[in-house]
Chains A and B, each alone.
Chain A
Amino acid sequence: MANSQENPNYYVPESSWYPVGIAAAVFCLILGLGNFLNDIKSGGDGSLFMSLLGLALIFTVLYFWYGTVIRENESGIVNTQLKKSYVWGMGWFIFSEVMFFAAFFGALFYARVLAVSWLGGEGGKGITGEYLWPEFKPEWPVMTNPNPELFPGPAENMQAPSTASAWAKYLPLWNTVILLSSSWTVHMAHSAIKNSKRGAIKFWLGLTVLLGCIFLVLQAEEYIHAYQELGLTLETGIYGSTFFILTGFHGFHVTLGTLILAVSLYRVFRGHFNHEDCFGFEAASWYWHFVDVVWVCLFFFVYIF
């Protein structure tokens, strides 16, 4: 409908093939992934072709979709009310992400505080441990599982060290520093936009993306260390399970965040964003701050305590 630039009305877009496109692509991704996993489980080789195709399709459609949104925005047909809808949309999306992580944190707390102590013969249902698992000691991180034959425990864990010199070599600490500073740099980029300093935007945003990448590299390094040297894997019982699911999904979100920031950077080079209108960038930076806050919680509850 309202396509003319002067129209004060709310902009309702024309019909569009993007949504069905994405839905179909997601279907392709998921069907492929499901077949892949089931194939592997029953001892086959599994092929990721279909899911990769789906992923590629998703990115393709998204490319067009966001392209259209950006064009609409640049051409000025998006009024302030619609921009506010985007703001609400992003805000509530982040809230849903918070709840997604809440599920995993909930699992961590439940396991640590309740399940492990009950299995270890303590607390309200301690009889469980006394009778069924007399050998099992309640401790966190759990190094020997209730049934060590089915779930051999890790050799070492990722818990924060006690000596200062060890702290200096402790990757999660450096990752915290990196992510916290990236939150700051992204904030600097935002100020730069508000002050219309194009050069500074590129600098700070570029730095943020770089920090994100460094974080990911270190995280990968840490995983390799865990798998190869500490014997800490997904299969080593509840400690490994909670550790990897929390840090893993966080890492996945950092990857996404870095990608979105990289796109923003690209858009800055293309001359997008100005001090009045930079919601695309702001959304990315909120997401980044959110990922950062999750990390801080992780750092405290997964690594330190």
Chain B
Amino acid sequence: MRKIGQASGEHKARAARGLTRLLGAGLGLVVMVVSGLAQADQLNMPVGVTDISRQVYDLHMNIFYICCIIGAAVFAVMLWSIIQHRHSAGYKPAQFHESTKVELAWTIIPTLILIGMAVPATGVLKAMYDTGGEDMTIEVRGYQWKWQYKYLDEDYNRTFDFFSTMSTPQAEILGQSAKGEHYLLEVDKPLRIPVNRKVRFLVTAEDVIHAWWVPDFGIKRDAVPGMLNELWAIVEEPGVYRGQCTELCGKDHGFMPVVVEALPQDEYDAWYASQLVAEKVRAEALSKTFTAEELMAKGEGVYGTFCVSCHQANGQGVPPVFPALAGSDVVTGELKGQIEKLLYGVPGTAMQAFGKQLDAADLAAVVHYTRNSFGNDVGDIVQPRDVVAVKDGE
């Protein structure tokens, strides 16, 4: 049997020449296309605005080029052989079928290439794991289907928190009105962080697994209920950065965007101070007495943020999974019953315990709203203290 490379000398030379030419042309083409692609940002990974994201981008491009080169070489040999070694061209088959030398070569060389890739990858990964030394900490908590951002002080105590829910109107999704520029990637209240600070994120979830991802920061981490993950980022440019939940988390998984606004330090400080004030106002509202109109207005807002996704804007729900609130016995019945449903949820169903997410004022408002909307007409006025009473009564 002929071993590889025992083809006649002239033939070999011709093959080699042709092959080199083909390889060269293929490579040139690939490099052209590839570098074109790399520039168009809708086609490629974003370079991002953190040191880490840039390192990741470089890593990505380097492996990509290596793969392209190996691919071009392998496919060129194949193509050459397909064109030259055709039966129809009268080519007589060689009979070689092994060569230890060649086999060794194509085991060892790829191994070396892989090691070459693994070394920088290890470096980047280590850099990512370099937590600690942070300037501030924010808890990121995934809910079906929204994010909660809780700003923590040095002792991990909450200073204030808020929910961040998608703000794209249903009409745009259903094609009833034109889609805006940031369709599906916009929220009512973005997370705000200062630039050039090491911000540490503690990522967890309330119900199912979500994943928090900001492509421009080069970070993504699963939010696992009951478990905690750490992430960090130093954002170098102010701006609005958009991402999405990337772990299937149920019906509205596609509708829980992540929006982060990186602000210059002074703007951030001003905003932070205003949040502390708002927090005080909120705390005071718990003991306030509202008018029916105030409650309706506030309640509509809460309902629109927290309840519509399941019970729908018209209160009709999506039976049988999500019951209608319009005409529901619970909603039109005794007040305490409904407040309990909201505070503690219905375990084992999608109806969560909102007692943790909404304060008494919000709860009172939304209860009031549901009792007096969608054709429901109970007429009583629900105050925050009613909710507090139910809470403490337990």
A99 is an interface residue with CB less than 8 A from chain B:
no
Instruction: Quote the shortest CB–CB distance from A238 to chain B (angstroms).
Output: 12
- Report, nearest first, the 10 A-B pairs whose CB atoms are least far apart: A128-B228, A128-B227, A131-B228, A127-B228, A132-B228, A131-B156, A131-B202, A127-B230, A132-B204, A132-B226
Q: Given the complex, which residues of A lie within 8 Å of B156, measured CB to CB? A: 131
Query: Quick one: closest B residue to A41, CB to CB?
Result: B348
Q: Given the complex, which residues of B lie within 8 Å of A132, measured CB to CB? A: 204, 226-228
Q: Given the complex, which residues of B lie within 8 Å of A128, measured CB to CB? A: 226-228
Q: How far is the CA of A125 from the CA of B203 in the complex (A)?
A: 12
Q: Given the complex, which residues of B lie within 8 Å of A118, measured CB to CB? A: 227
Within 8 A of A (CB), among B260-301: none
Q: Give B214-228 as 1s and 0s: 1 = Cβ < 8 Å from A's Cβ atoms.
A: 000000000000111
Q: Given the complex, which residues of A lie within 8 Å of B204, measured CB to CB? A: 132
Q: How far is the CA of A125 from the CA of B222 in the complex (A)?
A: 14
Q: Given the complex, which residues of B lie within 8 Å of A131, measured CB to CB? A: 156, 202, 228
A146 is an interface residue with CB less than 8 A from chain B:
yes
Instruction: Quote the shortest CB–CB distance from A122 to chain B (angstroms).
Output: 13
Asked if A125 contacts B228 (CB within 8 A), the reply is yes
Q: How far is the CA of A146 from the CA of B227 in the complex (A)?
A: 11
Q: Which of A118, A125, A131 has the most CB of B within 10 A?
A: A131
Within 8 A of A (CB), among B221-270: 226-230
Asked if B226 contacts A125 (CB within 8 A), the reply is no
Q: Which of B204, B227, B230 has the most CB of A within 10 A?
A: B227
Within 8 A of A (CB), among B145-204: 156, 202, 204
Query: Quick one: closest A residue to B139, CB to CB?
Result: A131
Q: Which of B204, B228, B229, B230 has the most CB of A within 10 A?
A: B228
Q: Given the complex, which residues of B lie within 8 Å of A133, measured CB to CB? A: 226
Range, interface on chain B? under 10
Q: Given the complex, which residues of A lie within 8 Å of B226, measured CB to CB? A: 119, 128, 132-133, 146
Within 8 A of B (CB), among A88-134: 118-119, 125, 127-128, 131-133
Q: Give A133-170 as 1s and 0s: 1 = Cβ < 8 Å from B's Cβ atoms.
A: 10000000000001000000000000000000000000
Instruction: Quote the shortest CB–CB distance from A86 to chain B (angstroms).
Output: 38
Question: Which A residues lie at the B interface, using CB under 8 A?
Answer: 118-119, 125, 127-128, 131-133, 146
Q: Given the complex, which residues of B lie within 8 Å of A127, measured CB to CB? A: 202, 228, 230
Q: Given the complex, which residues of A lie within 8 Å of B202, measured CB to CB? A: 127, 131
Query: Quick one: closest B residue to A150, CB to CB?
Result: B347
Instruction: Quote the shortest CB–CB distance from A177 to chain B (angstroms).
Output: 41
Instruction: Quote the shortest CB–CB distance from A18 to chain B (angstroms).
Output: 41
Q: Given the complex, which residues of A lie within 8 Å of B229, measured CB to CB? A: 125
Q: How far is the CA of A142 from the CA of B70 in the complex (A)?
A: 53
Q: How far is the CA of A127 from the CA of B228 in the complex (A)?
A: 7
Extra pairs beyond A128-B226, A131-B202, A132-B226 (16, CB < 8 Å): A118-B227, A119-B226, A119-B227, A125-B227, A125-B228, A125-B229, A127-B202, A127-B230, A128-B227, A128-B228, A131-B156, A131-B228, A132-B204, A132-B227, A132-B228, A146-B226
Q: Give B98-111 as 1s and 0s: 1 = Cβ < 8 Å from A's Cβ atoms.
A: 00000000000000
Q: List 21 A-B contacts (CB under 8 A).
A: A118-B227, A119-B226, A119-B227, A125-B227, A125-B228, A125-B229, A127-B202, A127-B228, A127-B230, A128-B226, A128-B227, A128-B228, A131-B156, A131-B202, A131-B228, A132-B204, A132-B226, A132-B227, A132-B228, A133-B226, A146-B226
Instruction: Quote the shortest CB–CB distance from A173 to chain B (angstroms).
Output: 36
Q: How far is the CA of A119 from the CA of B226 in the complex (A)?
A: 8
Query: Quick one: closest B residue to A127, CB to CB?
Result: B228
Q: How far is the CA of A131 from the CA of B230 in the complex (A)?
A: 11
Q: How far is the CA of A128 from the CA of B204 in the complex (A)?
A: 9
Instruction: Quote the shortest CB–CB distance from A21 to chain B (angstroms).
Output: 37
Within 8 A of A (CB), among B320-342: none
Query: Quick one: closest A residue to B152, CB to CB?
Result: A131
Q: Given the complex, which residues of A lie within 8 Å of B228, measured CB to CB? A: 125, 127-128, 131-132
Instruction: Quote the shortest CB–CB distance from B54 to chain A (angstroms).
Output: 27
Q: How far is the CA of A17 from the CA of B230 in the complex (A)?
A: 59
Q: Given the complex, which residues of B lie within 8 Å of A146, measured CB to CB? A: 226
Query: Quick one: closest A residue to B348, CB to CB?
Result: A41
Instruction: Quote the shortest CB–CB distance from B254 to chain A (angstroms).
Output: 28
Instruction: Quote the shortest CB–CB distance from B131 to chain A (angstroms).
Output: 9
Q: Give B27-64 as 1s and 0s: 1 = Cβ < 8 Å from A's Cβ atoms.
A: 00000000000000000000000000000000000000
Q: How far is the CA of A78 from the CA of B204 in the complex (A)?
A: 62
Q: How far is the CA of A155 from the CA of B202 in the complex (A)?
A: 34
Instruction: Quote the shortest CB–CB distance from B35 to chain A (angstroms).
Output: 40
Query: Quick one: closest A residue to B224, CB to CB?
Result: A128
Query: Quick one: closest A residue to B204, CB to CB?
Result: A132
Instruction: Quote the shortest CB–CB distance from A126 to chain B (angstroms).
Output: 10
Query: Quick one: closest B residue to A133, CB to CB?
Result: B226
Q: How far is the CA of A68 from the CA of B331 in the complex (A)?
A: 65
Q: How far is the CA of A133 from the CA of B226 in the complex (A)?
A: 8
Q: How far is the CA of A43 from the CA of B226 in the complex (A)?
A: 28
Instruction: Quote the shortest CB–CB distance from B323 to chain A (angstroms).
Output: 15
Instruction: Quote the shortest CB–CB distance from B224 to chain A (angstroms).
Output: 9
Query: Quick one: closest B residue to A42, CB to CB?
Result: B348
Instruction: Quote the shortest CB–CB distance from B300 to chain A (angstroms).
Output: 33
Q: How far is the CA of A128 from the CA of B229 in the complex (A)?
A: 7
Query: Quick one: closest B residue to A126, CB to CB?
Result: B228
Q: How far is the CA of A127 from the CA of B201 in the complex (A)?
A: 12
Q: How far is the CA of A146 from the CA of B225 in the complex (A)?
A: 12
Instruction: Quote the shortest CB–CB distance from B87 to chain A (angstroms).
Output: 40
Q: Given the complex, which residues of A lie within 8 Å of B227, measured CB to CB? A: 118-119, 125, 128, 132
